Amino acid sequence: MARFSALDGVDETLRKLGTLTVALRDELRGVVRKATERTLSATKSAAPVRTGAMRDAIKAIYFDGGDTGAVFVGPSNDTRGRTRAKNLPIWLEYGTRKASDRPFLVPAAKAAAAAMEADALRIVTASTRAAE
C-alpha cells in the first residue's frame, strides 16, 4: 500500500479561504507559494545524487487557483536515457525490505509546513487586529 503525507484539514481550510478578503487571500497564496518553493528547494538538495536525474525529476505544481501547491517526483531517466522504475522515489523515501530508507521529500515537507503555519498565523492575526 502506498504511503503519502498531506497536511491535515486542507479541505476545511480551502472552504474557509473562499470567505476571506481578496488582499488576505493573496497574502496567504504567497505563503503557500513560498512554502512550496521552500519544499522544492529542500527536496532537491536532500535528494540522492548519482546522475542528477532524481533532482531533475522533482517538480512543483499549483492548483485551486494557487491555494494549493504540491511537490512531487516525476519519472526520471537513467544514464542511457531509459525511464527508471516509477516506484524508485517511493523506494528511496520509505525503503524496502532489502534497502534502508533515505527520506528526502517528507522531511522537507514537514519543515516547510511548520514555517508555512507560522507565516499564515502571523498574517491572519495581523489581519484580524487590523479589522478590529
Q: What is the DSSP string of 101-112?
A: ----HHHHHHHH
Task: Tell me the mean pLDDT in the region 8-17.
Answer: 65
What's the CA angle centered on 48, arms 100 and 70, to 5 degrees? 100
Distance CA 83, CA 98 (A): 22
pTM above 0.75, yes or no: no
pLDDT of amino acid 130: 64
Indicate whether 86 belongs to any domain. yes
Indicate whether 97 belongs to any domain. yes
Indicate whether 121 belongs to any domain. yes
User: 125-129 — which CB contacts under 8 Å span 24+ positions?
Assistant: 127/21, 127/24, 127/27
Q: Which domain holds residue 127?
A: 31-131
Is the pLDDT reported for residue 50 higher than 50? yes
| Residue 47 DSSP class | S
Overall number of domains in the chain = 1
Tell me phi and psi for residue 62, to 5 degrees: -120, 140
Q: pLDDT tens-digit profile of 69-79? A: 899 888 777 66
Residue type, 28: L
Is the pLDDT reported for residue 83 higher than 50? yes
Indicate whether 14 belongs to any domain. no
Indicate whether 107 belongs to any domain. yes
pLDDT of amino acid 35: 92
What's the CA angle centered on 50, arms 44 and 53, to 5 degrees? 55
Is the pLDDT reported for residue 22 higher than 50? yes
Indicate whether 9 belongs to any domain. no
| Residue 85 DSSP class | P
| Residue 72 DSSP class | E
pLDDT of amino acid 16: 67
* % pLDDT > 70, the chain: 78
